[in-house]
Amino acid sequence: MNDNVLEKLKTLAESAKYDVSCASSGTTRKHTQGSVGSASGWGICHSFTEDGRCVSLLKIMLTNYCMYDCAYCINRRTNDIKRATFSVSELVDLTIEFYRRNYIEGLFLSSGVVRNPDYTMERLVRVVKDLRLIHRFNGYIHLKSIPGASRELVDEAGLYADRMSVNIEIPNETSLKTLAPDKDFQSVYLPMQYIQQGALQSIEERKHFRSAPRFVPAGQSTQMIVGATADTDKDILNLSSNLYQKPTMKRVYYSGFVPVNEYDKRLPALKQPPLVRENRLYQADWLLRFYQFSVDEIVDSSFPNLDLEIDPKLSWALRHPSLFPVDVNLAEYEMLLRVPGIGVKSAKLIVVSRRFGRLSSWQLKKMGVVMKKAQYFITCNELPFHHTVNELTPERVRGLLTKGAKKMNDSQLLIPFQD
């Protein structure tokens, strides 16, 4: 441990930071005698960087040497950046010492591809295996599966990692082929399938033998880059929705494209990353996972892209004014969830507390309902004192709700593609 390690740490963190996955959730594990640490089911963020993203795991690359030349990646072979490689003992020591000081929840290990996918994967597996078996590390481990890695290695890795992920990066194969000539969908989907099969098999085995080993108990995740290709939100969300059908897929992350290789003419020139679009995609993702929306309700061929000015739920509600107003004292939970301004928490509060008596707008406000939005879509004890969306027309409501909002920075709307 010395300044040399500090330099390596900086270089490899710099290379790993564009991976957005950060969650340390999905596994609950108490300490066992002789081991270090535990895992808490909901995940804990230990710090936040100045861009507002959380630091939960020690997100690091084993090496940033890479034989691939993907246009969107900072670590592409042709980039002239500082390269470094950690030794197993350095990485293990850093993880344990950081963990003991409560800096991190665990390790998120990724790597550039050196020699071939299997060689790289084998080295990653060796680190996690050492950490778990020799150093008895019991905290969270998220391991990146290298695209194209063989089944045997994924099967072994799954025994030590809590979560594994393979990044799709680009939502359709033709664009992927253009930007990353060395990759194809096969190399991404196969490891994904191995992980799923391993996990399902382990669940089945554990029904018969309680001591059967767990296999990636926190499931898998993936990530897509937003704004690097001409794909619409419809393409992206349809792909996410399909991925969520898989039993082990827990999260799909969206990463606003940060132009790290500005010289590459295959990529659009952006003044700044498409942060608003990224945010809207996350909101749509939440609608899919927690609000019982289906993907065709959020985007379809007539609305292939999400509205950047208003959130997807409000946008859906304004397209379907005939379903409103909703009576909060009578409506079903599923319908409450669809009201703009009512979230999962407030919908649950409404359902349990309306048994005790009719609810009024001041009570809804205290429960956390955003009345500014919800007032046009609900009736309760005394509402509507305003007109609802039906009398006001959706355009008027839209105008009222976007009035005074900060003017959109149109550098994000403008994506000049060159073909």
Give the binding range for other proteins (CB under 8 A) out of 156-164, 309-317, 363-371, 385-393: 363-371
300 near other proteins (CB under 8 A): no
SS3 call for 68: coil
CA 177 to chain centroid, in Å, comes to 23
Give the binding range for other proteins (CB under 8 A) out of 37-45, 160-168, 302-310, 395-403: 37-45
Here the tokens at position 52 are 């507002």
356 near other proteins (CB under 8 A): yes
Rule CB under 8 A: choose which of 24, 167, 363, 388 binds other proteins: 363
Which residues within the stretch 38-97 sit at the binding site for other proteins (CB under 8 A)? 38, 40, 44-55, 58-60, 94, 97
36 near other proteins (CB under 8 A): yes
Instruction: Output the CA torsion sign for 251, 255, 261, 265.
Output: positive
268 near other proteins (CB under 8 A): no
Here the tokens at position 244 are 């969520």
Write phi, then psi, for 229 (nearest 5 degrees). Answer: -130, 175
Rule CB under 8 A: choose which of 207, 265, 355, 406 binds other proteins: 355
CB of 350 to other proteins, least distance (A): 8
Residues linked to residue 48 through DSSP beta bridges, in sequence order: 54
**Interaxial angle between packed helices 185-208 and 151-160, expressed in degrees from 0 to 180 and rounded to the nearest 10:** 50
34 near other proteins (CB under 8 A): yes
- Give the E-state strand segments of 35-145 in sequence order: 47-48, 54-55, 57-61, 106-110, 140-144
Residues linked to residue 256 through DSSP beta bridges, in sequence order: 226
CB of 50 to other proteins, least distance (A): 5
DSSP state, 323?
Answer: G
- Cβ closest to other proteins, residue 41 vs residue 247: 41
- Cβ closest to other proteins, residue 38 vs residue 197: 38
Size of the site for other proteins (CB under 8 A): 57
- Rounded to whole angstroms, how far apart are CA atoms 419 and 416? 10
| Residue 165 CB coordination number (10 Å) | 27
Give exposure, 17-32, as e/b (b: 16+ Cβ within 10 Å).
bbbbbbbbbbbebeee
Greatest Cα pair distance in the chain: 70
275 near other proteins (CB under 8 A): yes
CB of 406 to other proteins, least distance (A): 12
- Cβ closest to other proteins, residue 366 vs residue 396: 366
- Cβ closest to other proteins, residue 67 vs residue 275: 275
Q: Which residues bind other proteins (CB under 8 A)?
A: 1-2, 5-6, 9-11, 13-14, 17-18, 30-31, 34-38, 40, 44-55, 58-60, 94, 97-98, 100-103, 256, 258, 272-273, 275, 349, 352-357, 359, 363, 366-367
